[in-house]
A and B are shown apart, each in its own frame.
Chain A
């Protein structure tokens, strides 16, 4: 397939994904906006005012980067896993499989579609947070790079989950039992300095901790971990996950008999 044709195929997949999540916006765009607003009100305003400072910032300012990242992570993941699995379920994935689109373009298209939703939600949540606190950016490139890479990583993760899933239950297991606990324990609501030494050590093996802290560093300039190590971890995971996803596509795991 020629390069320009591949670009057309890529943009077609992305456009279709954007069309999908904007068509069902009450399911895709509205819920995270409502949920995050509740977090801002309850944890940030009501409870946060009694907690006081954390990491040198008032509690609302401290949790905003984590909550933005949480929304980006869950939306990027959810978009790809639900869209790709639905295509498998309805067999409309065959439209792609019979076409000459290379597998890496299929993967890139879905990941970009997931990122579009994740970053769009990130922007919505950021705008909402401005109603509760003032955001000043400490390191803009760090903010942009971290949020882009994190979104990409979880979009690839969602793709692998969708490839492996054989029923609808399978696409909710990882978000419910893996992503949500890791996100809550990834320093969204607290600094790991508050934890005993043992649990600090355990926290260090949670990859989401690095993403939340990398993003928090970009916005507030404080982090529980070295932000550059955080970036390195994300890039490493993206590379590994992409390799796995491409191998699955090449073998037709769950999509070719």
Chain B
């Protein structure tokens, strides 16, 4: 089966010489829910910008459902729906007009566009606001408007660049449910996000990008299996003056006096509790410091950041 997206040796060098992408290659299968993760400035938005034709590539290949963007750009674009990071609609236009106008750009006549616009505005809870100018919407509503606009022509591949940035928890969860439903119905989804619990909850496959290079491109399951250490935050009944020295676990205190314990993969948590009990430390609550994907992500990005230093040290 043709991949929804194929990227081959994609390079982007900006006019000032900055190399945003250094030859990345990745594929996204049809029906996938895919996360493209990376720190700020890693190259995520540049990659998606090239796929959506908002950024000119320097070299490389991009294919959307088999259509090469160099030779069959129009076919590739017909399959794409894009939700950008920044609000990019005319703030003075009415919500309904924004969505139907977008459909018109895809060649959908107004009558048909109106039906599709109603469907998505209702699904995203914006139907009551259809006659309001976009500037009157709240931040969360504006994000949902961009999703409705991206879906109005029923794309097979939906690209979302930070779709839940600045959105409250309740709305974020409802957007997750909506996106999961879209994905179940067959829409391939590519997501960039800073909320790694979002990627962990929604996505099946993940690529981690940093400094214009793909560090990892694998399934979420495989990625999480690589997580060798997990950090737990333990609250004690009495404040500790210093972190205890433990046989199998590295411990330290955080700024608020909670005990941070690093547990290696395969180690039983029971042993940790027994040892703490023996030291007279009573635990009243416990949580993970960060979600598993976040932990892994931070380690990978930190490792990658140390690499040029190692090269420099080696060269010296």
User: Footprint of B on A, CB under 8 Å?
Assistant: 1-2, 4-6, 8-9, 11-13, 15-16, 19, 23, 86-87, 90-92, 94-102, 252, 256-257
Contact = CB atoms under 8 A, between A and B. Distances in A.
Q: Which residue among B55, B75, B78, B101 has the maximum number of chain A CB atoms within 10 Å of its CB?
A: B101
- The 8 A-B residue pairs with the shortest CB-CB distance in the complex, in nearest-first order: A5-B107, A12-B104, A99-B105, A91-B88, A100-B77, A100-B74, A92-B90, A8-B107
B104 A8 contact: yes
B73 A16 contact: no
Contacts of B101: 12, 16, 95
A13 B110 CA distance: 12
B89 interface: yes
Contact of B80 (A4, A15, A98): A98
A5 to B, nearest CB: 2
Given A98-B82, A256-B55, 9 more contacts: A9-B106, A16-B97, A86-B90, A92-B88, A94-B54, A94-B88, A95-B101, A99-B102, A257-B14
Contact of A1 (B14, B97, B107): B107
Q: Which residue among B73, B77, B104, B108 has the maximum number of chain A CB atoms within 10 Å of its CB?
A: B104
B84 A94 contact: yes
Given A5-B106, A6-B107, A98 B77 contact: yes
5 contacts: A5-B106, A5-B107, A16-B97, A95-B102, A100-B75
Interface of A is mostly: helix
A246 B280 CA distance: 77
B90 A8 contact: no
A139 B14 CA distance: 55
B197 interface: no
B91 interface: yes
A1 B76 CA distance: 11
Given A90-B88, A100-B73, A100-B74, A252 B56 contact: yes
B104 A9 contact: yes
